[in-house]
């Protein structure tokens, strides 16, 4: 409707203009280069309009002809770009389908059409990895590293390549560079943390953990546990006994349920002549988490002392959790060493029913042997084959079993992966 009204208004104006000119014909006379031109005003107006219309279209045609090269250039560039991205798409599909030859072919086409853009470099690197061409993949990742928009992704690829080749120092360098670019990335924290731990760079790993906790890359509980383990490792590595003791006590304060922290602190305190303080710390640790390694550490503090004195010290050690099975076993061991057969037997009595552990059976056999009851001792020993396995440190990642705790699994190097539980098979009987 509006279009019709505009059309009618335009026609009306033209008619009005024509009528106005017809009512005022006038005359125009020009003398130019010997030519005498005489005409009416309406004719002159029409001629001027025609001349303007002609000049307008001549200008349009001239502009089109002048711009033709640019137009064809844009058309060719768009065509090359379209074919380049088609090649990229086909190449990514080939990578997903596991076809390295097709992926490499499409990567080359994309490179020829697009002039080595970031995506074609990435496709070429992935195709090389798929084909097993590690050197080629590294070359493409290095080219990507030179571009700001792909540097971070390139560092991840180079880090992966370095780990495959076993070049841990290079991998650590790439991880540090990636962290400098994007410290909030989860994979960067995980990779850098693992490599620092493997490199035994405990101070740097501690600083990284603190920063990760602030950025919420790791939960508060997990961060506290990790700090405890890293501080413990630093304590065991410290050359100065006093500094080591201080670090070990910090680790114990962070994780009082971690026997290794209390043991390390006790060992360091003993080195500085603070045996009484070390004993109190072990007693505190036993109350938090009774564990046989704490009993062994206490025996280390009492090395050279009389057996009866050692037995009394063990009584004090386990007093915070006297009825715990580990407490009963610790008392039985100390009593057996002191030749207190009755006390050792009464301490183990509650643990002998319902499939006792191998170590309990071995202790009961030793008690009977000490009392001269050899036939009863043999009966106990015959039960060892079907005994419940003794608990041990078992890796939650690979299932590896070991007798001694360490912050990293000896088999798979998983950090904080060892847990105290019953393995499928007992490694060996504990000495009694």
Give the confidence band of 428 by pLDDT, cuts at 50, 70, 90.
Answer: very low
Q: What is the pLDDT of residues 378-402, one digit of tens each?
A: 999 999 888 888 899 999 988 899 8
Least trusted range by pLDDT, from 10-19, 144-153, 264-273, 422-431: 422-431
Residue 50: how many other CB atoms lie within 10 Å: 10
Between 140 and 408, whose confidence is greater? 408
CA-to-CA separations, 55 to 48, 49, 52, 62, in angstroms, rounded: 11, 10, 5, 10
Give the confidence band of 72 by pLDDT, cuts at 50, 70, 90.
Answer: low
Give the confidence band of 108 by pLDDT, cuts at 50, 70, 90.
Answer: low
Give the confidence band of 101 by pLDDT, cuts at 50, 70, 90.
Answer: low
Report the pLDDT averaged over residues 322-333: 94
> Can you give the pLDDT at residue 413?
86
Give the confidence band of 432 by pLDDT, cuts at 50, 70, 90.
Answer: very low
Q: Residue 342 pLDDT more than 80?
A: yes
Report the pLDDT averaged over residues 60-67: 71
- DSSP assignment of 17-81 equals HHHHHHH----EEEEETTEEEEE-HHHHHHHHHHHHHHHHHHHHHHHHHHHHHHHHHHHHHHHHH
- Nearest CA to 425 among 398, 399, 396? 399
CB 229 within 8 A of CB 407: yes
CB burial of residue 278 (10 Å; 0-12, 13-18, 19+): buried
> Can you give the pLDDT at residue 135?
83
Residue 334's SS3 state is helix
Is beta strand 35-39 parallel, antiparallel or unpaired with respect to 28-32? antiparallel
- Nearest CA to 330 among 363, 302, 301, 303? 363
Give the confidence band of 283 by pLDDT, cuts at 50, 70, 90.
Answer: very high
Q: What is the pLDDT of residues 157-182, one digit of tens each?
A: 899 889 988 899 999 999 999 999 99
Residue 357's SS3 state is strand
- Nearest CA to 104 among 117, 118, 88, 115? 88
Give the confidence band of 137 by pLDDT, cuts at 50, 70, 90.
Answer: confident
> Can you give the pLDDT at residue 95?
55
Residue 350: how many other CB atoms lie within 10 Å: 11
Give the confidence band of 429 by pLDDT, cuts at 50, 70, 90.
Answer: very low
> Can you give the pLDDT at residue 89?
65
Give the confidence band of 338 by pLDDT, cuts at 50, 70, 90.
Answer: very high
Residue 121's SS3 state is helix
Q: Residue 425 pLDDT more than 70?
A: no
Measured distance CA(295)–CA(167) in Å, rounded: 42
Q: What is the mean pLDDT of the chain?
A: 83
> Can you give the pLDDT at residue 156?
87
> Can you give the pLDDT at residue 431?
44
| 425 DSSP 8-state letter | S
CA-to-CA separations, 354 to 155, 263, 351, 360, 387, in angstroms, rounded: 57, 32, 8, 12, 10
> For a pLDDT cut of 70, what percent of the chain falls above it?
78
CB 402 within 8 A of CB 391: no
Report the pLDDT averaged over residues 360-371: 93
Report the pLDDT averaged over residues 173-193: 93
> For a pLDDT cut of 90, what percent of the chain falls above it?
46
Give the confidence band of 56 by pLDDT, cuts at 50, 70, 90.
Answer: confident
Give the confidence band of 28 by pLDDT, cuts at 50, 70, 90.
Answer: low
Cα 222 from chain centre: 14
User: What does the block give as tokens for 261?
Assistant: 């922290």
Report the pLDDT averaged over residues 237-260: 91
């Amino acid at each position: 409707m509006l279009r019709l009204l505009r059309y009618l208004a335009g026609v009306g104006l033209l008619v009005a203009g024509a009528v106005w000119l017809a009512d005022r014909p006038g005359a125009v006379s020009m003398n130019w280069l010997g030519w005498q031109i005489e005409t009416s005003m309406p004719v002159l107006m029409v001629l001027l309009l025609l001349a303007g219309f002609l000049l307008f279209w001549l200008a349009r045609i001239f502009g089109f002809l002048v711009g033709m090269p640019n137009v064809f250039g844009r058309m060719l560039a768009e065509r090359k770009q379209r074919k380049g991205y088609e090649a990229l798409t086909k190449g990514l599909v080939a990578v997903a389908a596991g076809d390295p030859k097709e992926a490499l072919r499409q990567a080359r086409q994309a490179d020829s059409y697009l002039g080595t853009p970031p995506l074609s470099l990435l496709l070429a690197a992935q195709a090389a990895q798929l084909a097993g061409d590690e050197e080629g993949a590294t070359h493409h990742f290095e080219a990507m590293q030179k571009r700001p928009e792909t540097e971070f992704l390139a560092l991840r690829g180079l880090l992966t390549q370095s780990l495959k080749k076993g070049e841990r120092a290079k991998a650590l360098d790439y991880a540090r560079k990636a962290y400098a670019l994007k410290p909030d990335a989860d994979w960067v924290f995980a990779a850098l943390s693992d490599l620092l731990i493997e490199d035994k760079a405990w101070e740097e790993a501690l600083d990284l953990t603190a920063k990760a906790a602030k950025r919420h890359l790791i939960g508060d509980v997990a961060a506290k546990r990790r700090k405890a383990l890293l501080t413990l490792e630093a304590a065991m590595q410290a050359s100065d006994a006093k500094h080591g003791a201080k670090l070990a006590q910090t680790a114990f304060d962070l994780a009082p349920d971690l026997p290794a922290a209390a043991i390390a602190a006790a060992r360091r305190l003993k080195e500085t002549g603070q045996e009484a303080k070390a004993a109190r710390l072990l007693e505190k640790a036993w109350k938090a988490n009774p564990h046989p390694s704490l009993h062994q550490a206490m025996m280390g503090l009492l090395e050279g002392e009389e057996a009866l004195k050692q037995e009394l010290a063990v009584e004090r050690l386990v007093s915070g959790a006297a009825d715990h099975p580990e407490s009963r076993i610790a008392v039985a061991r100390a009593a057996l060493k002191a030749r207190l057969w009755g006390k050792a037997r009464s301490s183990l009595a509650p643990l002998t029913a319902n499939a006792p552990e191998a170590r309990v059976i071995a202790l009961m056999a030793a008690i009977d042997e000490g009392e001269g009851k050899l036939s009863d001792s043999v009966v106990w020993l015959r039960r060892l084959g079907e005994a419940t396995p003794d608990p041990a440190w078992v890796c939650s990642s690979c299932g590896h079993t070991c007798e001694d705790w360490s912050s990293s699994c000896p088999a798979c190097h998983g950090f904080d992966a060892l847990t105290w539980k019953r393995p499928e098979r007992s490694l060996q009987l504990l000495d009694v």
